[in-house]
Amino acid sequence: MAGFRTIDDMPAQAGKTVLVRADLNVPMADGVVGDDTRLRAAVATIAGLADAGARVAVLSHFGRPKGRDAKNSLAPVAKALAGVLGRDVAFIDDCVGVAAAAALAALPEGAVAVLENTRFHAGEEANDPAFVAELAKLGDYYVNDAFSAAHRAHASTEGLAHHLLAFAGRTMEAELKALQAALGTPRRPVAAVVGGAKVSSKIDVLTNLVGKVDHLMIGGGMANTFLAARGIDVGKSLCEHDLKATALDIMARAEAAGCTIHLPYDVVVAKEFKAQAENRGANIHDIAADEMVLDIGPAAVEALADALKTCATCVWNGPLGAFEIAPFDAATVALARTAAALTQGGTLLTVAGGGDTVAALAHAGVTQDFSFISTAGGAFLEWMEGKALPGVVALQH
């Protein structure tokens, strides 16, 4: 990953207006924020710039509006951000134009304002040069602190970096450093834990990882597809039988690259998918036709834990079983706690992210014990696929 400027490289901020692209796209119900993780992630950047005397103008999208749409206004989010920041936050009801410029100019130094939803303008998602130029008129510097939106080449995530001196915010900086440490220039051996329901959603992830890691640990429903490709009858388990050839190709690539693929040899099976369903442990060669695999078994988890103990770096994406319902959360919880203990012991760097991963690790109670947990979904997945993220590329110099 080429170099990028951080806030530490920014010229004096006092009296300047800094456009900060944050991710304020938080879950809302009845005007109340359901999860303020993304708001808290923006605090270090916003507060730091404001304390240095900048006028901080926060840009973000919210929802998927088609034009102006009151229910997708950022006004209630601005109030919630004020609560998280512990300081006043002004709300400006557009993100471009004369009125927005005047409202920003009227703010005192060190003030914070949230500008209205960038997606109220079609030019945002189109990355329209004219819209980018209008946004750029409002600020002196640009800070991108929204890694979770970095996989989109939109006006506020990519275009602005070409108009103003551009810097990575504190959250973006932390993400990029963690990702570089995990797959860019990692300490070896490297393990990747990849779970989730379907191989089809992670073909590119798996294909990229076999060339980058020493151990690829596959769990979740996708493990069934790999087992089936090896000729194992997985009963009525979730399995993409049409992707057996893809699974075999990934295994062949892994072998050629010297990457060990770990698949479970014991599993937990049940006849129905519900909490506390009657279940049993089984060898993978002993799955009945009316049973489904809902978790990997204790012996397989122990083998994965033993492999992790030999590693220096671990990238984690996805649960190992149906972690949402007990007792099929056991493998995910057990391996997550092993990884957390190794991290706390100083022998393993752990970086996790994407979709269900954050929820699964929170369920295991290890959120604070991993080296880094990314709250980005799509961007984290595209990074694991080895794709260039437009919002990150734009910051590089």
Reading the block at residue 56, the tokens are 């901080």
Structural domain total, the chain: 2
Is the domain of 240 the same as that of 277?
yes
23 has a pLDDT exceeding 60: yes
- Is 187 labelled as part of a ligand binding site? no
Which among 170, 199, 227 is the end of a domain? 170
pLDDT confidence band for 253 (50 / 70 / 90) = very high
Is the domain of 214 the same as that of 65?
no
Q: Distance between CA atoms of 288 and 114, rounded to whole angstroms?
A: 57
Is the domain of 103 the same as that of 193?
no
Which among 106, 137, 170 is the end of a domain? 170
Count the neighbouring beta carbons within 10 Å of the beta carbon of residue 98.
Answer: 9
Structural domain boundaries, residue 12: 7-170
pLDDT confidence band for 394 (50 / 70 / 90) = very high
User: Each residue of 30-52: pLDDT tens digit?
Assistant: 888 998 989 999 999 999 999 99
The CATH number of the domain holding residue 71 is 3.40.50.1260
Q: Residue 1: its pLDDT value, please?
A: 47
181 found inside a domain = no
Instruction: Tell me the mean pLDDT in the region 354-362.
Output: 87
396 found inside a domain = no
Active-site residue among 97, 110, 235, 355?
355
Determine whether 87 is an active site residue.
Answer: no
Which among 142, 170, 198 is the end of a domain? 170
Q: Residue 188: its pLDDT value, please?
A: 97
As a whole-number percent, the residues of the chain with pLDDT over 90 amount to 90
Q: Residue 377: its pLDDT value, please?
A: 84
Q: Residue 177: its pLDDT value, please?
A: 93
Is the domain of 16 the same as that of 162?
yes
- Is 152 labelled as part of a ligand binding site? yes
User: Each residue of 94-136: pLDDT tens digit?
Assistant: 999 999 999 999 999 999 999 999 999 999 999 999 999 999 9
Is the domain of 204 the same as that of 329?
yes
Q: Distance between CA atoms of 70 and 47, rounded to whole angstroms?
A: 28
347 found inside a domain = yes
As a whole-number percent, the residues of the chain with pLDDT over 70 amount to 99
Instruction: Tell me the mean pLDDT in the region 365-374.
Output: 95
Q: Residue 3: its pLDDT value, please?
A: 83
Q: Distance between CA atoms of 165 and 170, rounded to whole angstroms?
A: 16
Determine whether 38 is an active site residue.
Answer: yes
Active-site residue among 79, 198, 271, 337?
198
Q: Distance between CA atoms of 317 and 380, rounded to whole angstroms?
A: 9
Determine whether 34 is an active site residue.
Answer: no
DSSP run (H or E) holding 316: strand 313-317
390 found inside a domain = no
Determine whether 196 is an active site residue.
Answer: no
Is the domain of 35 the same as that of 94?
yes
208 found inside a domain = yes
Question: In this predicted structure, which of 22-31, 53-62, 188-197 has the lowest mean pLDDT?
Answer: 22-31
175 found inside a domain = no
User: Each residue of 200-240: pLDDT tens digit?
Assistant: 999 999 999 999 999 999 999 999 999 999 999 999 999 99
Is the domain of 143 the same as that of 273?
no
Is the domain of 274 the same as that of 366?
yes
Distance of CA 369 to the CA centre of its chain: 17
Largest CA distance in the chain: 72
Is the domain of 135 the same as that of 202?
no
- Strand order of the β-sheet with 266-270 is 279-283, 266-270, 292-296
User: Each residue of 153-164: pLDDT tens digit?
Assistant: 999 999 999 999
Q: Residue 139: its pLDDT value, please?
A: 98
Q: Residue 390: its pLDDT value, please?
A: 95
Reading the block at residue 57, the tokens are 């103008």
- Is 40 labelled as part of a ligand binding site? no
Q: Residue 2: its pLDDT value, please?
A: 57
- Is 159 labelled as part of a ligand binding site? no
Is the domain of 12 the same as that of 106?
yes
Distance of CA 395 to the CA centre of its chain: 19
User: Each residue of 179-202: pLDDT tens digit?
Assistant: 999 988 999 999 999 999 888 999
- Is 23 labelled as part of a ligand binding site? yes
> What is the overall mean pLDDT for the chain?
95
Is the domain of 20 the same as that of 123?
yes
343 found inside a domain = yes
- Is 5 labelled as part of a ligand binding site? no
User: Each residue of 263-318: pLDDT tens digit?
Assistant: 999 999 999 999 999 999 999 999 999 999 999 999 999 999 999 999 999 999 99
Give the residue ranges of DSSP H helices in 52-89: 75-85
Q: Residue 227: its pLDDT value, please?
A: 97
Q: Residue 149: its pLDDT value, please?
A: 95
Active-site residue among 16, 21, 38, 212?
38
Is the domain of 138 the same as that of 226?
no
177 found inside a domain = no
pLDDT confidence band for 356 (50 / 70 / 90) = confident
